[in-house]
């Protein structure tokens, strides 16, 4: 079969699987039924069963990845609508951004050292704690592979989404600002989506922390790359 046709079919399959899983999640809001969990798993199984190379799958579905950029910029609107709230908590937001950036880099470096990851994977892992558009921009400074970086970002977001809400409950956080900052810093876009399910204030704070953490990662990536070697 023509590779372009296969790529087009996978594009359609990606959209359909996401749409079906989103409808299912709206009826039964369970974390394991979330589109960001169901869609990647279903696609991985489909790609493996059909023995389709990643390059073929990515040929047409790359446009979905491109949409992550405009989607990230769209978070500016809820930030604007909640600007009064955000001006009240500059210190909390600054701490959230700084902690998310530093802990994300340190945990990535530590994982690479503990498990003896090969250089390509270790370098690709470093920017995993920020949203995909920012991670892709920072991956070059770290000498990582962008395809591997996307996978690392996805895994981080899904893991943060699955345990984030329960972990915040265990910590006993009640402040909407603290919850939003924690979710935005630890699980970037996935955490921000979860924050909006909790409330508008949580979502706005998560959006701001996610964007500022991503911008900081891109600007400071050359310096961080020098530090970690």
Task: Return mean pLDDT, the chain.
Answer: 82
First-to-last alpha carbon distance for the chain, in angstroms, is 45
Which three-class secondary structure string do you get for 118-146? CHHHHHHHCCCCCCHHHHHHHHHHHCCCH
Inter-CA distances, 204 with 97, 192, 200, Å: 14, 8, 6
Q: What ranges in 51-89 are assigned the alpha helix state H?
A: 54-66, 68-74, 76-81, 83-88
Tokens of 95: 């701490």
Query: What digits encode the pLDDT tens for the residues 45-88?
Result: 988 888 888 778 777 777 777 777 777 677 677 667 777 777 88
**Distance from C-alpha of 171 to C-alpha of 27, rounded to nearest angstrom:** 29
Asked if 46 and 61 count as a contact pair (C-beta separation under 8 A), the reply is no
Q: What does the pLDDT read at residue 181?
A: 83
144-157 average pLDDT score: 84
Q: What does the pLDDT read at residue 56?
A: 80
31 pLDDT higher than 80: no
pTM of whole model > 0.85? no
Q: Provide the percentage of residues in the chain whose pLDDT is more than 90.
A: 1
Query: What digits encode the pLDDT tens for the residues 161-195?
Result: 777 767 776 777 677 787 888 888 878 878 888 88
Return the higher-pLDDT residue of 91 and 172.
Answer: 91
Asked if 146 and 126 count as a contact pair (C-beta separation under 8 A), the reply is no
Q: What does the pLDDT read at residue 1?
A: 60
138 pLDDT higher than 80: yes
Inter-CA distances, 77 with 83, 114, 189, 201, Å: 10, 41, 15, 13
Q: What does the pLDDT read at residue 229?
A: 59
């Amino acid at each position: 079969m023509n590779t372009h046709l296969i790529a087009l079919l996978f594009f359609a399959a990606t959209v359909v699987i996401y749409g079906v899983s989103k409808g299912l999640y709206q009826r039964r809001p369970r974390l394991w039924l979330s589109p960001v969990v169901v869609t990647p798993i279903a696609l991985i199984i489909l790609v493996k069963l059909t023995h389709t190379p990643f390059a073929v799958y990515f040929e047409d579905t790359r446009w979905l990845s491109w949409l992550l950029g405009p989607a990230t910029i769209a978070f500016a609107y809820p930030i604007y609508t909640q600007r009064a709230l955000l001006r009240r908590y500059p210190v909390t937001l600054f701490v959230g951004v700084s902690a998310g950036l530093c802990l994300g880099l340190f945990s990535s470096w530590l994982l690479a050292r503990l498990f003896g990851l090969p250089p390509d994977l270790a370098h690709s892992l470093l920017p995993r704690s920020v949203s995909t558009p920012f991670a892709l921009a920072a991956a070059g400074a770290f000498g990582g592979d962008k395809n591997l970086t996307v996978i690392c970002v996805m895994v981080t977001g899904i893991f943060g989404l699955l345990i984030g809400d329960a972990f915040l409950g265990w910590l006993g956080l009640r402040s909407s600002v603290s919850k939003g900052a924690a979710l935005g810093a630890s699980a970037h876009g996935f955490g921000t989506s979860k924050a909006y399910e909790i409330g508008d204030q949580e979502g706005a704070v998560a959006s701001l922390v996610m964007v500022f953490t991503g911008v900081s990662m891109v600007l400071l990536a050359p310096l961080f790359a020098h530090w970690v070697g």
